[in-house]
Structure 1
């Protein structure tokens, strides 16, 4: 794993990759909002920059980033466009769970070079058949499916070594499935999070990933593996979800910049320059401090990931920190929009678009504020919340 301190040249190279993707997506933001998907050009740019290969095991020949660099990359794209940041994060992180499959599957997917999507809500129906299983299900919110070659979906299955059903991931080629364009959302419209239909598709047993085994060990089921790989040395779910908070920080930072810029050039009907108003001065101060607070929590989250190894960890604390970061970023954006006034409400204004996108991040099941805060409170009083991160 290459750390920020060890290779500043690589760090700057990664940030430039992120900036190129973000700036290109920003130019197409209104078009992507209208089409409910990023364009093929942006998807191709993410692929050309090899973002989806930056946190693979080192045997695949790409620089393996540390968490600080990865988070900064996601945030940098988010500063320019949150839909692109959402997909940049997903196309990177989704290769991570593929690395827990047997090596022949892992190598096939990674060497093929395509993007991987997933939706692990355990709603699939799995029936045993000769040589494997038949799977059916209808999955909504499959981000990036328009440009993905592979997809993982969720289901509940019973195994001989466990007396209770457990949640699993099942890997498919997208070409074997049906994609239905249903994405018409308030925010993150460029994510193209459409619906996926699986209709009695056969899979072999080795296409099934048991998440319970990953939680137990954080390492793959084969003997020889990259000991330095960051996902093999981090509690799986906190690492898998870190990008949601990272992109929110990037979006909030952009909103603060937009607020400062638009306030400096704003003149009231009374002729008073808004930057001289105590109201806007106070708001800008609060926004800046809230952003500092969110970044501080992000640093703590990363420190926890780097410290928690080979044992129990506080899943509820991870979830609460992530939820608090995202909620803080949402409140930054809402406060900025309400203070800037009506012109910031116009469709296509950066603050209007970032506010919608940040709210959409906050609605993701892993980001729900009330769930995260309540879960941590219960955990602090010794209640077993079953929260895994």
Structure 2
């Protein structure tokens, strides 16, 4: 099947690539860069067809994110994160979907999902308060998914904890300017957002547990296997695809930089077997990361298409595959950057930007190895991981 969105991205590759330094200087995506993603349909790939979406295979979505990220890390990151939000919106109340997309099918939705707010029940919904970090692409979004905990009547967190996703329009939250001052992925504009006593009606709320275990998709009556893959496959997919795409971009710039380079010893890189070996090893590792991520998404899709109900163990192993793919790719970037010479560290050389972007992308919470590797190893030896933090990212 032809990936038409990918073809459009390739056709505008020079434009997206050239806007990379502009995005970094602005601290958010330039309006032209955001328009390119809109025009190409990158953010509507996982959107329901009834609202102009492609309902694409998750592998095709990941391929597009990688392609954009290889041109500019920040644009790829926004495509990966903002692009996955229509997937979850497909589970939401039809009234909410119409509120978001009824007037404009290209409306973007931001996040973060981290449960940093408290939603106090009131008649008809909740009063919501909180502050969240890292809302990628938020300047170009008109709605937002925010994570929160159910509160008790006093406003404290209810016990036992109940995690929720709440959806708010731009008028109900504030973007904190100057809150995204970082070493990499500067152009993502991943700023803080604040909510103060916003009323969120019941139809704009999803219970997080139902999203994770697939109940939300089932209750929405969604048949397309795209919407039956686990949240722990779909949500990290765009993030890790961006990191791998950034690694591919770093490698491409490294190869271009090394082609005619003469080292301080007087040896041409093209004649140095040690550097050439490192290049080959890094290229193979980055390719292996790509294959592993796409294969994982494809296997999940195939199982969903067959009507399979995913176990915790399967979700944990899928997350292990995804996390390891990101780490493998960034380690490979370090190997080639370390052999690029001092000239690669000049701000005029794109290698250093891709290197910085890769490491900031790896620092995302979804790439933390600890609990994911711990839980997946336990499941493989037949031990059920305990409830709590170890299961929270799976």
Considering the TM-score relative to the shorter chain, is it more than 0.5? Answer: yes
Alpha carbons 2:62, 2:294 under 8 Å: kept: no
Alpha carbons 2:253, 2:350 under 8 Å: kept: yes
Distance 1:201 1:47 in 2: 29
Equivalent in the alignment of 1:17: 8
* Counterpart among 251, 254, 260 of residue 256 in structure 1: 251
Matches within 5 A, 1:99-110: 99-110=90-101
Aligned pairs, number = 376
Deviates most, 13-22 or 111-120: 13-22
Is 1:276–2:271 an aligned residue pair?
yes
* Counterpart among 173, 178, 184 of residue 187 in structure 1: 184
* Counterpart among 53, 60, 66 of residue 44 in structure 2: 53
Distance 1:264 1:52, change over 3 A: closer
Distance 2:334 2:343 in 1: 14
Distance 1:203 1:362 in 2: 33
Secondary structure at 1:138 match in 2? strand
Distance 1:218 1:235, change over 3 A: farther
Alpha carbons 2:165, 2:205 under 8 Å: kept: yes
Equivalent in the alignment of 2:217: 220
Is 1:136–2:129 an aligned residue pair?
yes
Distance 1:379 1:23 in 2: 46
Equivalent in the alignment of 1:177: 173
Secondary structure at 1:339 match in 2? coil
Q: Give the TM-score taking structure 1 as reference length.
A: 0.90
Distance 1:345 1:371, change over 3 A: farther
* Runs of 4+ off more than 4 Å: none
Secondary structure at 1:112 match in 2? coil
Is 1:116–2:109 an aligned residue pair?
yes
Distance 1:20 1:176, change over 3 A: farther
1:47-85 deviation line (CA, Å, top 9, x unaligned): 222322222222334432112211111111011011101
Tell me how large the CA RMSD over aligned residues is.
2.2
Distance 1:321 1:357, change over 3 A: same
5+ residue gaps, structure 1, are none
Distance 1:335 1:42 in 2: 30
Distance 1:185 1:111 in 2: 36
TM-superposed deviation, 1:371: 4.0
Q: Give the TM-score taking structure 2 as reference length.
A: 0.89
Distance 2:83 2:27 in 1: 21
Alpha carbons 1:238, 1:315 under 8 Å: kept: yes
5+ residue gaps, structure 2, are 153-157
Distance 1:42 1:208, change over 3 A: same
Is 1:145–2:138 an aligned residue pair?
yes
Distance 1:122 1:197 in 2: 13
Equivalent in the alignment of 1:209: 206
TM-superposed deviation, 1:165: 2.3
